Amino acid sequence: MNRIIKAFCSWSGGKDSCLSLYRALKKGINIKYLFTMFKEDGLRSRGHGLRPEVIKKQAELLEMNFIYGQATWNDYESIFKEKMLLLESKGVKIGVFGDIDLEPHRKWVIDACSHTNIEVYHPLWKEERRHIIEEFVDLGFKSLITTINNNVMSKRYLGQVFDSKMIKELEELKIDPCGENGEFHTVVIDGPIFKESLKLEKKGITDVQNYSMLDFILK
C-alpha cells in the first residue's frame, strides 16, 4: 500500500472504528485524519454521544488530525457529503469505515462518497462478529460502555469495561456482544496505537428516548 496516498477514518470513538483504524494502519494505509459527525449543536457525537473534547483527545493520543461536521438528522447526508469534498481537497483518496455486516450502512457510505474519488474501505466487512471483538480485546485495546439501549440492557452496564468477561456475559443474556444493532456503544481509552491511555471522569447519565448515555469528561 502506498503510504503517500492519504486516508481518513470515520471515527465514532468506539471499538469498531478503532479496530478498523488499527487494521488499516497495519496494512500500510496512510491515515492522516479522523472524521466524526456531531449533533447540530456540536455538544455530542451522533450515536455514541461523546463530547467533542473526548474525541479530540483520542485524535491527539492517536497522533491524527481531527475533522468534524455538525448536523441534524435531516441535513446529515448533505453535511457529510460536504466534508467528503473537504477531505478530498486535502488529498484524501481512501475512507476507512467500521461497518461489519449491515448492508444498508455500507450502501449509504458508498453513496455518500460517490460524488468524490474517495475509495471506501471496510476492513471488518463480513467477518464473524465474535472474531472481531475477540481480536479487539486480545490486541490490548480497552474500552468502556458509554451508551445502552434500555430495551435490551440495564443501566448498570454503563461505564463497565468491555473485556472477555463482558463478551461472555452479554452472550449469556442473548445480547449481540458486538452491539452491531445498536444494543450498546463504547469509548476506547487505550490500546497499542495510543500514545497513552485516555483518562476520563464520569459525570452522570443522560436519557434520550430509549437510550441512556454515560457522560464522560476529560480528567
Q: Which residues have a Cβ under 8 Å from the Cβ of 85 and sit 6 or more positions away?
A: 115, 116
**Entry pTM:** 0.95
Q: Judge if 19 and 80 occupy the same domain.
A: yes
Question: Using CA atoms, how far apart are residues 192 and 37, in angstroms rounded to an integer?
Answer: 25
CATH of the domain at 187: 3.90.1490.10
Q: Which of 93, 121, 149 is the last residue of a domain?
A: 121
Count other C-beta atoms under 10 Å from residue 179's C-beta: 24
Q: Judge if 10 and 108 occupy the same domain.
A: yes
The residues facing 15 across adjacent strands are: none
Residue 133 forms part of a structural domain: no
pLDDT per residue as tens, the chain (219 positions): 455 789 999 999 999 999 999 999 999 999 999 999 999 999 999 989 999 999 999 999 999 999 999 999 999 999 999 999 999 999 999 999 999 999 999 999 999 999 999 999 999 999 999 999 999 999 999 999 999 999 999 999 999 999 999 999 999 999 999 998 899 999 999 999 999 999 999 999 999 899 999 999 999
Q: Judge if 187 and 213 occupy the same domain.
A: yes
Residue 127 forms part of a structural domain: no
Number of structural domains found in the chain: 2
The grid coordinates listed for 122 are 471496510
Q: Judge if 192 and 158 occupy the same domain.
A: yes
Residue 126 forms part of a structural domain: no
Residue 74 forms part of a structural domain: yes
70: domain range? 6-121
Q: Judge if 43 and 148 occupy the same domain.
A: no
